[in-house]
Amino acid sequence: MKNIFIILSKEIRTYFASPMAYIVAAAYLAITGFFFVASVSDAFSEATIRGYLAGATFFMIFMSPAITMRLIAEEQKLGTLELLLTSPVKEAEVVIGKFLASLVTVSVMIFFSLYFVILLYVFGDPDSGPLFNGIFGLVLYSSATLAIGLFASALSPNQIVGLIVGSGILTSLTIIDFISTRVSGIGSEILSFLQLGASFSVFDLGSLGVSESGHFADFSRGIFSLIDVVFYISVTIVFLLLTIIILESRRWR
């Protein structure tokens, strides 16, 4: 536990000591702010954060790999990964510490975006349950995307490769519903179940919505689903375990 905390603290200091975290956070707030404003600009729009959630899930496809791409790839490139793994630190501690650091970074961004919720309370009369259920779902979704990004970072010492592979995996798991509609039988059901985020469409600047598909769709509608919670936690655990396996394989090379 002590080693995890040390790695966590070191990575968080590294994040916020460089301009990258602030640039990514500014981009996140700007993009999600645009989606939020677009979704509540109609005269009879609902007091929800569905627009914000749509923008957030879209941006996470690229933001999560961008945040995690250096975590292991840079260690490999600089040759410090071997030193780290030969020290009295387990692979699992390295992976969990780096993952938690990225999750804390994203959670800070989500926290600052809560002013969207405050605006709804100031100018409207929203239902608190769906609002915070959506935020909870976004945190779970973020953890899954960050675990996938960390896995991609472990595949190569090149950060750009990690970014591309991570974004590719996330994009595939987001649009997989289009593939499932073209497959028959149990294969269609399996592919549909693997859809990580809900597809969304922007059909004009004042009307934006999330489609009724994917594990994030229920969260965007304010519905709590235990199946979706278990799915995101499972995806997170699976990709963290895969990352640990990759690091363990390097020890024996």
Domain boundaries, the chain: 2-251
DSSP single-letter state for residue 206? T
pLDDT, residue 205, reads 37
Displacement of CA 124 from its chain's centroid (Å): 29
Q: How many helices, marked H, and strands, marked E, lie in the chain? A: 11, 2
pLDDT, residue 74, reads 79
Nearest to 57 by CA among 239, 178, 218, 240: 218
pLDDT, residue 145, reads 94
Burial of 242 (0-12, 13-18, 19+ CB in 10 A): middle
Burial 186-205 (b: 16+ CB within 10 A, else e): eeeeebbebbbbbbbeeeee
pLDDT, residue 204, reads 38
CB 152 within 8 A of CB 166: yes
pLDDT in tens, the chain (253 residues): 788 888 888 888 888 888 888 888 888 888 888 888 877 776 666 777 878 888 888 888 899 999 998 888 877 777 776 666 667 778 888 899 999 999 999 999 999 888 888 888 887 777 777 788 888 989 999 999 999 999 999 888 888 998 999 999 998 888 777 766 666 667 667 777 777 776 554 433 344 444 445 778 778 777 788 888 999 999 999 999 999 998 888 766 5
pTM exceeds 0.75 for this model: yes
d(C-alpha 28, C-alpha 59), whole Å: 7
